[in-house]
Amino acid sequence: MMFNSRNIIIGLIIFVGIFTFPFVLSAGKANEAPKLSLDTPVINELGTEECLLDTEYMRSNHMQLLADWKVEVVRNGNRVFVNDEGREFNMSLQNTCLECHSNKEEFCDACHTYAEVDPNCWDCHVAPEVVK
């Protein structure tokens, strides 16, 4: 009795292992985050390695920041954003974000394609011309 059920369990473990092996292998590749290029004329010229706000914060909150900017500009008529270090920026999707990140395709789009999000902003806002 004992012997049999143990063999069944070992057999099951081996079966599950063999069966899931290819998925385990490909999972790593499918989940690999895109490489984001920061190689743009403005970022290179500024010699900056920083975004407006902390990178980690930007990664998870840029959508909210942009939504807030839109409200500030369109509803409150305020166009000046002051960051944590007291630096001022024009609250503009195309003239601020995309001035630095002018490689939209290799930056914003690369990440959005990976995350399967498709912001509709560029139905109205002008995307930069592809700069190489």
Binding site residues, ligand HEC, CB under 6 A:
36, 38, 43, 46, 48-52, 55, 58-59, 62-63, 65-66, 69-70, 73-74, 91-94, 96-97, 100-101, 107-108, 111-112, 115, 117, 119-121, 123-125
- Nearest 5°: the CA angle 121, 127, 132 is 145
Give whichever of 30 and 117 is closer to ligand HEC, judged by the CB atom.
Answer: 117
- Nearest 5°: the CA angle 101, 104, 110 is 115
Q: At its nearest, how many Å lie between ligand HEC and the CB of residue 16?
A: 32
| Token pair of 88 as six digits | 């001022």
Give whichever of 14 and 76 is closer to ligand HEC, judged by the CB atom.
Answer: 76
CB neighbour burial string for 59-78, b if at least 16 within 10 angstroms, e if fewer: eeebeebbeebeeebeeeee
Give whichever of 25 and 117 is closer to ligand HEC, judged by the CB atom.
Answer: 117
